[in-house]
Structure 1
Amino acid sequence: MFCKKNVTTVIWCAAIVWSIMGILSWSHLPIEYRPGGLRLTFNSMIDHMLHGHFDVDPKTVEEEGFLRNGKVYAYWGIFPSLLRLPVLLFPNGLHWDITRLSSIMALLMILFFNYRTWRFVSERYLGGTSWVSLCLAIALAFSGEQVCFFEHSLYQEVCFWALAFASWFVYCAIRVLCEKEYWRYGGVCMAVAAGCALLTRVSMGIGLYVALLCFLIIHFYRWCRSFRTKDEGVTLLSLVVPTVISVLAIIVTAYVNYRRWGNPLTFANYDLYLYNVEFPSRIVRTKTYGLFNLQRFYLGIVYFFVPVWIFQKADGHYVLQDSFTRLIDANELPPSSFFLTDGFMLLCGALLIVGLLRKGRVFPINRAALASVAVSLAIPAFLMMIAISMNYRYRAEFYPDIVFLGTLGCVYLYNNLKDVRALKKILVALLVVSVVSSNLNIFLYGESELGPAYLYIKDGIFSYYYHRVF
């Protein structure tokens, strides 16, 4: 037992070092001086906000901006810009690029809550030092969300912070489902996490808000029943405080939207997108199919799970190329599959779902509550599967549900299927594949150009990466 405890300590410490060095690319500093460019967009955003404006300097956001009434706006949430407040206290602080430092902070937050999640379920349900506990620690430390996004651009910074708040939310959600009395503290934390996510990346915020609503309904029902059952686990205050926090975040978000687009319900107006000048077909595609369309769902399955779109046919075209170019703006490199990068967590989650549909299985969590939260957390992923653009970083939207179901799947596995030797071998093999694939993915991502993949892989995907690397 002593040896296994030391192993898990080494795992989490190594994950911290590996993550920090991955963000720094083993050679960069966390803070750099830059005369301009996209990585200073949030610097410009907070500077303008302090003067009562919500536009940004066109020299920072460049083509990623939206031109409205003679001013250029960014579509990203305002939370990352608030992190730039301290740099404004220094001379030339507006030119300090803290994208890497901010990403490291978010990544450490992800690892912290992944660790808290692992420790809670491990000590409570997984026997502390079982093989299931060890595998879960490795999966949460060296594969998936905390490895696949080491790229340190501004795009990834936003995804990192959205994932950080989602990790906080998932930890609290699991605690509340397992310990009803944790709601008094966990409900407030989940409201703050959901609100911050909404102010960072709206798609992630929507999923967390719906999950929080499920918890509020469940505990409101408990509060109503408490008058008959003498249940003291829920108070009116424990319902009011999360609700107020959530509403305040919605009001702030609506106000920012109104100042940017003239409509509190608009998060981005792609008719005003400056990139439309370079890619005029996007205007037609947006008007024809919209930003979200169910017709793209099968392409989402292909892009995120079964990337056959990278295979070239005899005529030089790629599999489903016509569908991709007709329905979406870009299917971005590198090709990837959750079955490879997160196979261990996906199988554990699948075992949980199948097991809960069967009667007689032992599980310490209310099944209806678990199902409602799982479906809510799947909303961001579903939106990405029908979105007008399919980018590698959009994989972030899938991870709250993957971690939630995968972690609870390990609990189900340990309590119901721990003696199945063949399954153990399969899971260990998937874990190895997950770790290797996740780290390979981030290497390929660092070598990939952003934007429509078909512009770059005319000679084939292998030729493209061969020339990029060598």
Structure 2
Amino acid sequence: MVASIAGLVLGGIPFFLVLLNFRTDALRTAVAQRFASNFFDLQATAFLHGRLAVPNGSLGIEGFIIDGKTYMYFPPFPALLRIPVQLLTHEFDGRLTLPSMVLAWVVLAVMTTRMVWLVRDCLRPGEAVSRTDGLVAAILLAAATGGTVLTFDAALPWVYHEVYLWASALAVGCAYWLLRVALDPSRTAILWLGGFTLATALTRTPGGWAMSGAAMALAGWMLLTALRRRRPNRGRLVLLRPLAVLSAGLVPLGASITYNWVKFGHPYLFPLESQVWTQVNAHRRQALAANGGTITGPQFFETSLVNYFRPDGIRFVDYFPWVTLPAEPARAYAGAFLDQSYRTGSVTAFMPLLLLLALAALPVLLDRRAKGPVAALRWPALGTILVGGGVMGYGYLANRYTSDFVPALVVVGTIGLWSTSRRRLPRAALLRPVLVVAMATLCAFSVVAQVATGSLIAAQTHRGDELTSYLSLQERLSGGPGSSFARLVSQSDELPGAGTADDLHVTGDCASLYVNTGDQYEPWNLVEQRDMVVDVTPVSVHYRPGTLRLLEQDGVEMRYVSLEFDKDTPQARLVVEDKDGNFYSPWFEVARGHSIRVTAHAVTEVFQTRIRVDDNPDYDLYVPVGEWNTDWYNDLTRLTFMTGHDGGRTDHVRVSNSWGREPALCQRLLQDAKSSATR
């Protein structure tokens, strides 16, 4: 008990620190607008109204349009969990992802703990738990609950990562009950196996199919064994339990197929040609054409194998956080045409302890002489290994997809731990402490690496104050004149087209500060931007009707920020001229000699620049910080004054342009970079 609690505390603390982003907001979301954190809430609401379709447009590019209705491709289990909350209130819609991820971690912790000790009983029956056993069990639990990519997933509370936490936790639960059924197929164990398998199948299709297949394979093995041992006068009784186990796998599989068929008319695939993303992204359409209308298949196996298991799938830097993802997106091999690829860490580099333990289990799992409880270990191992099979043939590479290997790493790694520890080692008194220290070191490394990458992705995805705070922390811990962090900073009048991950670039005199993400679709994030201020002072009682352009935005399309003066009364309003039409603020009064101050302020956490009149939010309009171009890459926009910096004058107004205060972080970084250059 003490070892289990210690291991869960050591793994849980870093997990929850990342999940909360080192803050206290238990309802935080990955991005401020809550995009992709509200999908399951939308689905739960649809269920309560008796339908599968969600409101059109609510899923953005992730929606599938079938016969004019929008469907979500995620299976429904996390949505079903939200229904009890929605029966009471909708106040928390869009903010339940983090609590759901907490619950998933609890399931993972409970089922992993039970698996650890059950496997030990299988491999070392009747042996008392020694102090060394307690230590290695605690280390394993810490690695499983805090040292896997699930901690990285916790950094972003949105559906893409929520499903992986649940899928991993439920798959480990399935594996535990598979082992329990293989050891003693009681009615209770079979019911639990069916429940976990159903939940897994309704969370993530590849994992559900894998665990359903393992359950049905176990049922087949039990049936053959029962037929060989069948005794006279026992009749059909010996067949009931294998058939019950078969149902525990077959019913969840049928539920998964039925749900997907009702939505998409296929047992497991999605009609990618019907996804909004496919309609707007030319590269997706090219990928579908190159791969026969799908982005799955054996042609992606080598690419997945190399990227997900390469020993150098990690990057060490000489500035905080010192451990990070590879600098470039994952590459294709053997002529594979990928849909998308992002910076992706490997299992080998980020989770070495669990991978080594899993490899250590192979002699036991492949031993044909194994019988009884030891042979029963093959079933949970088979199911969890199959969970990772789906992603090996998928033409989309991202770090979160290594989550599919976590169930096997945990379950097979547990088998490897106890199979190794039961062997008699030469000079055991000396060697065992060395192995315990090595395990603890590798576990600590994995925890630190996941916390480091998770914290970075949380800041870069959310932007705004979180990104500024993260870079400020980097500056405090590893910055200063002459530091390697200072050497990341460059300056020019324009943002360069290319860069390396973590590069910092300043345009103008701290007009803007950018950080390079290393990814190809959004290579630069805007960190800080100086306010742009235009003072317009009427100098005549004769107001000329029409618009006075103040700011110009150059991006995928041109926009103009203007003041429009009314022809009949002394009033004006703010206008954003856009190709899709003009957007207007309410009218406000103007008077001769009274300055109208228009301020452009970047609100990067909502990816917008706010245009405000006289510091009054009632007149706010917005223009985007970035726009998706025809290749669906995010091009950052550039806002400039329409008149000279010294101001200008028409026959009825005087215009004066100015810059706001230099952002503090940009100022410090630029000063350190200049000091480094003079050394």
Once the two structures are superposed, the pairs formed by residues 374-385 of structure 1 within 5 Å of their partners are: 374-385=381-392
Partner of 1:404: 411
Contact 1:175 1:182 in 2 (8 A): yes
Q: Which is further off, 273-282 or 97-106?
A: 273-282
Secondary structure in structure 2 of the residue aligned to 1:265: coil
Q: How does 1:273-422 map to 2 (within 5 A)?
A: 273-289=275-291, 290-306=294-310, 321=331, 323=333, 327-333=337-343, 335-354=344-363, 365-367=373-375, 370-371=377-378, 373-419=380-426
Aligned counterparts of 1:137 and 1:252: Cα–Cα separation in 2: 37
The residue type paired with residue 25 of structure 2 is L
Q: Is the 8 A contact 2:332 2:338 kept in 1?
A: no
1:271 to 266, 273, 277: 273
After the TM superposition, which residues 149-168 of structure 1 pair with which residues of structure 2 at under 5 Å, given as runs? Answer: 149-151=153-155, 152-168=157-173
| Deviation (angstroms), 1:144 | 2.1
**Out of 105, 116, 119, which is 2:117 matched to?**
119
Mapped contact 1:223–1:235 kept (Cα < 8 A): yes
Separation in structure 2 between the aligned mates of residue 349 and residue 35 of structure 1, nearest angstrom: 41
Paired position in structure 1 for 2:456: 447
Q: 1:6 to 1:42 in 2, by over 3 A?
A: closer
Preserved CA contact (<8 Å) 1:344 1:434: yes
Distance 1:17 1:386 in 2: 34
One-letter amino acid of the counterpart of residue 169, structure 2: A
**Are the equivalent residues in 1 in contact too, given 2:365–2:377 (CA < 8 A)?**
no
Where does residue 576 of structure 2 map in the other structure? Answer: none
Higher mean alpha-carbon deviation, 219-228 vs 6-15, is at: 6-15
Task: Check conservation: 2:176, 2:380, Cα contact below 8 A.
Answer: no
Give how far 1:100 is off.
0.4
Q: How far did residue 145 of structure 1 move?
A: 5.5
Q: Which residue of 1 aligns with 2:247?
A: 244
SS at match of 1:461: coil
Instruction: Kindly provide the amino acid, as one letter, of the partner of residue 134 in structure 1.
Output: L
Matches within 5 A, 1:164-313: 164-177=169-182, 180-228=183-231, 235-261=238-264, 263-289=265-291, 290-306=294-310
Q: Choose the corresponding residue for 2:58, options 57, 60, 63.
A: 60
Residues in 2 aligned to 1:120 and 1:27: alpha-carbon distance in whole angstroms: 36
Deviation at 1:390, TM superposition (A): 1.5
Structure number with higher relative contact order (C-alpha < 8 Å, ≥ 6 residues apart): 1
Are the aligned partners of 1:282 and 1:329 in contact in 2 as well (CA < 8 Å)? yes
- Structure 1 residue 28 displacement after superposition: 4.2
Is 1:343–1:430's contact at 8 Å kept on the other side of the alignment? no
Verify: 1:437 aligned to 2:442, yes or no: no
Q: Which amino acid aligns with 1:99?
A: T
CA distance in 2, matches of 1:103, 1:339: 25
* Distance in 2 separating the partners of 1:422 and 1:329: 48
Deviation at 1:109, TM superposition (A): 0.6
**One-letter amino acid matched to 2:164:** C
Displacement after TM superposition at 1:135 (Å): 2.0
For the 8 Å contact 2:74–2:203, the answer to whether it is kept is yes
Measured against aligned partners, the alpha-carbon deviations of 1:225-275 in whole angstroms (never above 9, x if no partner) come to 34239999x8544333343344433343333223311x1414411111212
Q: Deviations over 1:112-140 (max 9, x none)?
A: 11111223344662742342442232222
2:97/2:159 contact within 8 Å kept: yes
* Secondary structure, aligned partner of 1:258: helix
Q: In 1, distance between residues paired with 2:27 and 2:417? A: 39
The question of whether the paired residues in 2 share the 8 Å contact of 1:191 and 1:246 is answered with: yes
- CA distances 1:66-102 after superposition (whole Å, capped 9, x unpaired): 1222222110001111011122223434735210001
CA 1:378–1:132 in 2, change beyond 3 Å: closer, same or farther? same
Q: Secondary structure at the match of 2:65?
A: strand
The answer to which of 97-106 and 456-465 deviates more is 456-465
Unaligned runs of 5+ in 2: 316-326, 462-495, 504-515, 519-523, 528-664, 666-679
1:32 positional shift? 6.3
Kept after mapping to 2: 8 A contact 1:66/1:72: yes
The structure that has the greater radius of gyration is: 2
Alpha-carbon shift at residue 59 of structure 1 (Å) = 4.5
State the partner residue of 2:71. Answer: 73
Matched with 2:473 is: none
Comparing 117-126 with 397-406, which one deviates more in the overlay? 117-126
Q: Percent identity?
A: 18
1:366 CA displacement:
4.7
Offset of residue 355 of structure 1: 5.1
Residues 314 and 346, structure 2, Cα contact 8 Å, conserved in 1: no
**Secondary structure in structure 1 of the residue aligned to 2:70:** strand
In structure 1, C-alpha distance between the alignment counterparts of 2:198 and 2:20, rounded to whole Å: 29
Maintained 8 Å contact 1:87/1:93: no
Q: 241-250 vs 165-174, which deviates more?
A: 241-250
3-state secondary structure, aligned to 2:59: helix
Secondary structure of 2:5's aligned partner: helix
2:353 and 2:439 in contact (8 A); partners too: yes
Farther-moved stretch of structure 1 (212-221 vs 245-254): 245-254
Following superposition, the deviation at residue 205 of structure 1 comes to 0.6
Cα deviation for residue 60 of structure 1 reads 3.4
Q: 2:38 aligns with which of 30, 34, 40?
A: 40
* 1:149 and 1:442 in contact (8 A); partners too: no
Distance of 1:240 and 1:254 partners within structure 2: 20
CA distance in 2, matches of 1:277, 1:387: 20
Q: What is the root-mean-square deviation in Å for CA atoms of aligned residues?
A: 3.6
- Partners of 2:233 and 2:437 lie apart in 1 by 46
Residues 195 and 60 from structure 1, CA distance in 2 versus in 1: closer, same or farther, beyond 3 angstroms? same
Partners of 2:332 and 2:251 lie apart in 1 by 45
Between stretches 200-209 and 61-70, larger displacement belongs to 61-70
- Determine which of 91, 98, 101 is the counterpart of 2:96: 98
The CA deviation string for residues 149-203 of structure 1, in whole angstroms up to 9 with x for no partner, is 32222111111111121111122233445xx225543332222211111111001
Higher helix share: 1
Aligned residue pairs: how many?
449
Unaligned runs of 5+ in 1: 312-316, 451-455
Tell me the residue number matched to 2:501: 461
C-alpha separation in 2, matches of 1:239 and 1:465: 53
Paired with 2:419 and 2:371, the residues of 1 have a C-alpha distance of 6
Contact 2:311-2:348 at 8 Å conserved across structures: no
Equivalent residues of 1:103, 1:157 under 8 A apart: yes
Kept after mapping to 2: 8 A contact 1:31/1:98: yes
Letter in 1 for 2:243: V
Shift of 1:341: 3.1
